[in-house]
Structure 1
Amino acid sequence: MKTMVVGASKGLGKALMEGLGQVGDTLIGVSRARPSAFTPVAGIETQWIEANLAEPATAALIIEQAVADGGLDTLVYNLGIWEELAFDSAYSFLADQDAQLQAIVNCNITATILLIKRLLPVLLKSNAPRIILTGSTSGLPQSGRPEVTFGASKFALRGIADALREGYRDQRLGVTCLNLGYLNTEDALSRPRALAEQHGEGHLIPVHDVVQVVRMALSLSSASYIKELTLPAILDERF
């Protein structure tokens, strides 16, 4: 299986690069620069594509050209940015800078659509083409969050997933949207999960759990797929 992880240099993306795949698989990381601290997993071929999705059209072309000949089975789109004071009690929509809001839409929505459009012809050549979008509980109805632009961008991911399924169901394209709650990205996958789960005292999700969910989704047969999955922290009062 050939799997691409977009936003792979740190946090959840890095954990996915370290936790996905089996012997003989290929993992393709996409980031602005290749991380110096990354150690490939034995038996899994690792490739890197340097592309800045803050410039969606240019990045999408670079990424498409890099995989056009080698093929691709799964795209994991894990890139997303948010307002400067998002998830802070000081957040105010009226104080958001216009340029920053445009950048959020550009990265979280425009780049997602353009890259999928470029990669879809390659993905559809696979026997089991899959797209996994890492969304947020902020993209759910009555999410309890006030961040307007970030929330709108995560709502958009769910719309993208639904529309792609309608358009490419006959070609067996499985599109999954993961609605993730607050993550503990400080503890890497190398830290024991028993310790990572203590960080946040029940209010943060260790990246280990997200990697486990993605591994499960990719382990299914070509006859099924996970449409949508919500993963909140155990003490998240919104869910």
Structure 2
Amino acid sequence: MTTILVTGANKGLGFETARQLVAAGHTVYAGARDAERGRRAADELGARFLLLDVTDDASVTAAAQQVAAEGGLDVLVNNAGIEPRQADGGFIPAAEVSADLAHRVFDTNVFGHIRMLHAFLPLLQRSAAPAVVNVGSGASLMRELSNPESPAHFYPDITYPASKAAVSMLTVQYAKAYPGIRINAVDPGFTATDLNFHAGHQTIEQGAEIIVRMAQIGPDGPSGGFFDARGVIPW
């Protein structure tokens, strides 16, 4: 049986990913930084709760120690992420994007991935079929955001797509550095979640499908790629 950790699992895509993986028979750690919400979600899912704040080194280290003590890890799903919005759900104008705001977004969306892989790497390397799934975004594709003919061209945010582009690069470079681990990025698509004030046109179930699929690829699966529900996305 495979043991899988999903970060940001108390709601949205993380919750649905954990739900589908539990239903598939896996042992799932539901990582969440809020203890009350996380425990409630884990109880509902039939998962193991893991107190985890990906922006905090001590929290990540403690989580890795707990998982190691309880038997180890096979698959890490780096799902936790944030997208800065105004109180009414609108995008933050470019003129108001500060370095502090960008740092906050990158601390979760990029540095959090690095913290997690650094801390959990020894556990993954002991697995017979280790894998990492980085939840990226189609918003990372510069060719789409720069193309006036693309539906993505309208997207105005500064920090979120920049952070997801960095996730793409992390995926490529870590996959080369650790050929024994299947490391891939996925694009769930425009899914209705709290992250986008439920503006997405896909259901949570549809968005989680590619995350769940790549979490179960096995040792003969691809590595260093970017995937959505339809298949490979060219970098």
Provide TM-score, normalisation by structure 1.
0.78
Alignment counterpart, residue 160 of structure 1, candidates 162, 170, 174: 170
Which residue of the partner structure matches residue 183 of structure 1? 191
CA positional deviation for 1:49: 1.3
Q: Which moved more, 1:214-223 or 1:116-125?
A: 214-223
1:167, 1:160 → 2: CA distance? 10
Provide TM-score, normalisation by structure 2.
0.80
1:190-218 deviation digits (Å, cap 9, x = unpaired): xxxxxxxxx96xx6111112332233323
Q: Secondary structure of the equivalent of 1:128?
A: coil
Which residue of the partner structure matches residue 51 of structure 1? 52
2:91, 2:19 → 1: CA distance? 35
1:115-142 deviation digits (Å, cap 9, x = unpaired): 1111011111111101001111111123
- Structure 2 residue runs without a partner (length 5+): 146-152, 231-235
2:142, 2:88 → 1: CA distance? 17
Which residue of the partner structure matches residue 149 of structure 2? none
Q: Secondary structure of the equivalent of 2:165?
A: helix
CA contact (8 A) 1:182 1:205 kept: yes
CA positional deviation for 1:231: 5.1
1:166, 1:134 → 2: CA distance? 18
1:133-156 deviation digits (Å, cap 9, x = unpaired): 111111112332332211111001
1:37-62 deviation digits (Å, cap 9, x = unpaired): 55445xx6x2111122232x122212
2:18, 2:51 → 1: CA distance? 15
1:117, 1:61 → 2: CA distance? 9
- Structure 1 residue runs without a partner (length 5+): 187-198, 233-239
Which residue of the partner structure matches residue 220 of structure 1? 217
2:215, 2:109 → 1: CA distance? 23
Q: Secondary structure of the equivalent of 1:183?
A: coil
Which residue of the partner structure matches residue 64 of structure 2? 64
Detail structure 1 runs of 4+ shifted over 3 Å in the superposition: 21-24, 37-41, 85-91, 218-221
Which residue of the partner structure matches residue 204 of structure 2? 207
CA positional deviation for 1:6: 0.2
1:6, 1:120 → 2: CA distance? 15
Q: Mapping of 1:13-28 within 5 angstroms?
A: 13-22=14-23, 25-28=26-29
Q: Indicate yes or no: 2:142 matched with 1:138.
A: no
Q: Indicate yes or no: 2:120 matched with 1:116.
A: no
Percent same amino acid at aligned positions? 22
Equivalent pairs, count:
212
CA positional deviation for 1:89: 6.3
1:75, 1:81 → 2: CA distance? 18
CA positional deviation for 1:83: 2.1
The one-letter amino acid paired with 1:156 is: A
